[in-house]
């Protein structure tokens, strides 16, 4: 398959701004996945949707004080308490509104690390960035191999997942609303809207201030005339609602049935501690009943052991459901401070409803920081527990892999691309259309091997993924 020349890549990115003031490394070829890996990714999409469906039932039955199991008692009010902590009452009420029953994010993106034991899922993002970028990369690298998402599947399925929310409206008006907090991603969303406009679709990328009420409808100005919005794709986190003056109009118009909003404004769907609930020992019978056997087995393999850091004191003789320190069970989360370097292969991160909950801002990796920093991370998690829950998660180290990367700023041809070692995060994108998650692209982030936490950075290469008979290792 042909390579992409460095000059062609530079020219393509110079002509299309996809991220505000961001750069990354370039490569002549897409990331290679085996057919078996691609098949597993398809199964992961199904598992992610099943997980969301089971999480909804768990949350709502917990909030209502209802039994979780068919043939024996299991009442868990503490589940809803965890998931609702720190949320305003009106948002909690909205999440529980019966009209929201069965409404899930239309875009699902797990963060997968490639380890010696296969894929590991560290997070499941319901408001993911990178949709426009991945669509652009899929198109750019389309001549280099069997790209996942070829034929503009990202663009097509993104639109179809949103248009399906208003089945009675032909060519609905869709607004991608990007807050100032998420402004870094606005260029890629503008690009995505423009591509759909070229197909005759009424899709626009807006700021929250562009939206205004007209009666119970939400509108925005098109050449001086108000146009009614049928669907809002919400590209902002729910903690950001307080910074959006027009946010209350969103709720009012949704309540009146005038607009569909996705991802739904249900904060429990965006909490990382849902992954800790999946491993909670008191909930194992529930997950067995709520999930198919195939999904249960896959999620148990994918999701690292995780725990909710809760500051509630224990009675004498009780121990925490958590890791061991010095071979002993914990009776207080503060005892984690005494863990050895080897025992600190653990990550602390805030669960969700907070400005530091994305972009690896709140992450503390125990084995990669000083004892003082580790102690500080534990103290913050315990202090914040009543308002902003944190989770503790086993750290699964990504394995070393290799890929060809261009030297930065080279002006030579593709022959100067060098094989570099690094570590991989893979983010497949699934768009829910007709109740099925359609994998439409997979963004590979290939970082230098010394980076413990993988995320978009100037030292990383951002690549689409392709399927080959034998993947590069």
Dist. CA 394–CA 397, nearest whole Å: 10
Domain boundary residue among 262, 297, 325? Answer: 262
Q: Read off the CATH number of the domain in which 192 is found.
A: 3.40.50.11290
Q: Which two tokens stand for residue 10?
A: 């530079």
Write out the E strands in 237-389: 260-262, 306-309, 324-325, 328-329, 346-350, 364-365
Dist. CA 74–CA 68, nearest whole Å: 5
Do 258 and 173 share a structural domain? yes
- In 3D, which of 275, 188, 285, 278 has the Cα closest to residue 233? 188
Neighbouring CB atoms inside 10 A of 304's CB total 17
Whether 385 is in a domain gets the answer yes
DSSP lists the bridge partners of residue 57 as none
Do 173 and 225 share a structural domain? yes
- Which domain, by its residues, includes 315? 305-394
What is the per-residue DSSP string for 117-186? TEEEEEEEESS-S-HHHHHHHHHHTGGGS-BTTTTTHHHHHHHHHHHTTSTTSSS--EEEEE-STTGGGH
Do 181 and 249 share a structural domain? yes
Give pLDDT, residue 99: 97
Whether 300 is in a domain gets the answer no
Neighbouring CB atoms inside 10 A of 272's CB total 22
Separation of CA 103 from chain center: 17
Q: Which two tokens stand for residue 189?
A: 């969303």
CA angle 414, 188, 465 (to 5 degrees): 45
Domain boundary residue among 372, 394, 416? Answer: 394
Dist. CA 127–CA 237, nearest whole Å: 7
- In 3D, which of 182, 184, 201, 183 has the Cα closest to residue 192? 201
Do 258 and 169 share a structural domain? yes
DSSP lists the bridge partners of residue 419 as 404
Dist. CA 63–CA 273, nearest whole Å: 16
N-terminal to C-terminal alpha carbon distance within the chain: 18
Dist. CA 320–CA 329, nearest whole Å: 7
Do 258 and 319 share a structural domain? no
Please, are residues 33 and 439 in contact by the beta-carbon 8 Å criterion? no
List, in sequence order, the alpha helices (H) in 304-387.
371-384
Domain boundary residue among 336, 359, 394? Answer: 394
Whether 60 is in a domain gets the answer no
Helix, strand, coil percentages, rounded to 5, for the chain: 35, 25, 40
Whether 43 is in a domain gets the answer no
Please, are residues 333 and 381 in contact by the beta-carbon 8 Å criterion? yes
Whether 309 is in a domain gets the answer yes
Please, are residues 58 and 290 in contact by the beta-carbon 8 Å criterion? yes
Give pLDDT, residue 2: 81
Do 387 and 318 share a structural domain? yes
83: Cβ–Cβ under 8 A, 6 or more apart, which residues? 59, 267, 268, 271, 273, 274
Give pLDDT, residue 414: 47
212-214 and 31-33: which strand pairing?
A: unpaired
Whether 227 is in a domain gets the answer yes
Write out the E strands in 42-89: none
What is the per-residue DSSP string for 380-406? HHHHHTTTS-EEEEE--PPPPEEEEEP
Dist. CA 82–CA 88, nearest whole Å: 14
Whether 451 is in a domain gets the answer no
Number of domains in the chain: 2
Please, are residues 369 and 294 in contact by the beta-carbon 8 Å criterion? no
Q: Which two tokens stand for residue 284?
A: 């194992």
Q: Which two tokens stand for residue 306?
A: 């995780």
Dist. CA 469–CA 465, nearest whole Å: 13
User: Which SS3 state, helix, strand or coil, does residue 62 take?
Assistant: helix
Q: Which two tokens stand for residue 435?
A: 């109740």
Per-residue three-class SS string for 30-54: CEEECHHHHHHHHHHHHHHHHHHHH
- In 3D, which of 186, 125, 165, 128 has the Cα closest to residue 254? 165
Whether 10 is in a domain gets the answer no
Separation of CA 148 from chain center: 19
Do 332 and 252 share a structural domain? no
pLDDT, one tens digit for every residue, the chain (473 residues): 689 999 999 899 888 888 766 788 999 999 999 999 999 999 999 999 999 999 999 999 999 999 999 999 999 999 999 999 999 999 999 999 999 999 999 999 999 999 999 999 999 999 999 999 999 999 999 988 899 999 999 999 999 999 999 999 999 999 999 999 999 999 999 999 999 999 999 999 999 999 999 999 999 998 889 999 999 999 999 999 999 999 999 999 999 999 999 999 999 999 999 999 999 999 999 999 999 999 999 999 999 999 999 999 999 999 999 999 999 999 999 999 999 989 999 999 999 888 766 666 778 999 999 999 999 999 999 999 999 999 999 999 999 999 999 986 555 444 589 999 999 999 999 999 999 999 999 999 999 988 777 665 678 999 999 999 865 55
Give pLDDT, residue 374: 95
Matching residue, tokens 């590991």: 120
Please, are residues 458 and 21 in contact by the beta-carbon 8 Å criterion? no
């Amino acid at each position: 398959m042909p390579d992409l020349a460095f000059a062609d890549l530079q020219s393509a990115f110079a002509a299309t701004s996809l991220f505000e003031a961001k750069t990354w490394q370039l490569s002549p070829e897409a990331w290679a996945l085996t057919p078996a890996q691609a098949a597993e990714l398809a199964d992961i999409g199904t598992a992610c949707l099943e997980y969301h469906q089971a999480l909804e039932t768990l949350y709502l039955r917990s909030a209502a004080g209802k039994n979780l199991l068919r043939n024996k008692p299991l009442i868990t009010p503490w589940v809803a308490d965890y998931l609702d902590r720190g949320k305003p009452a009106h948002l909690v009420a909205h999440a529980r509104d019966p009209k929201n029953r069965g409404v899930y994010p239309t875009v699902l993106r797990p963060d997968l690390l490639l380890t010696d034991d296969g894929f590991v899922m560290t997070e499941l993002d319901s408001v993911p960035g990178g949709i426009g970028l991945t669509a652009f990369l899929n198109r750019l690298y389309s001549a280099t191999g069997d790209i996942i998402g070829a034929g503009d599947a990202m663009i097509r399925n993104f639109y179809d997942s949103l248009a399906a929310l208003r089945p009675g409206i032909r060519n609905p008006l869709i607004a991608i609303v990007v807050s100032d907090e998420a402004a870094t991603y606005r260029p890629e969303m503008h690009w995505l809207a423009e591509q759909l406009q070229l197909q005759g679709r009424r899709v626009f990328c807006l700021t929250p201030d562009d939206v205004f009420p007209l009666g119970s409808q939400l509108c925005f100005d098109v050449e001086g005339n108000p146009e009614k919005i049928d669907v809002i794709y919400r590209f902002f986190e729910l903690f950001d609602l307080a910074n959006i003056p027009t946010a209350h109009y969103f709720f009012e118009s949704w309540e009146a049935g005038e607009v569909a909003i996705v991802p739904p404004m249900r904060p429990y769907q965006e909490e990382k501690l849902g992954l800790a609930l999946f491993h909670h020992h008191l909930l194992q019978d529930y997950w067995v009943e709520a999930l198919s056997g195939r999904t249960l087995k896959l999620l148990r393999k994918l999701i690292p052991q995780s725990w909710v850091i809760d500051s509630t004191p224990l009675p004498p003789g009780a121990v925490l459901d958590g890791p061991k320190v010095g071979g002993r069970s914990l009776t207080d989360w503060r005892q984690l401070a005494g863990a050895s370097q080897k025992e600190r292969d653990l990550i602390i991160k805030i669960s969700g409803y907070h400005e530091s909950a994305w972009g690896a801002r709140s992450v503390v990796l125990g084995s990669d920081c000083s004892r003082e920093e580790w102690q500080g991370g534990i103290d913050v998690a315990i202090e914040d527990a009543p308002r902003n829950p944190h989770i503790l998660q086993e750290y699964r180290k990504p394995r070393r892999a290799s890929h060809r990367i261009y030297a930065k700023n080279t002006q030579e041809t593709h022959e100067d691309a060098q094989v570099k070692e690094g570590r991989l995060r893979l983010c497949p994108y699934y768009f829910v259309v007709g109740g099925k998650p359609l994998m439409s692209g997979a963004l590979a982030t290939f970082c230098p091997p010394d980076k413990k936490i993988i995320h978009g950075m100037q030292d990383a290469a951002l690549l689409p993924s392709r399927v080959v008979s034998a993947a590069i290792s």
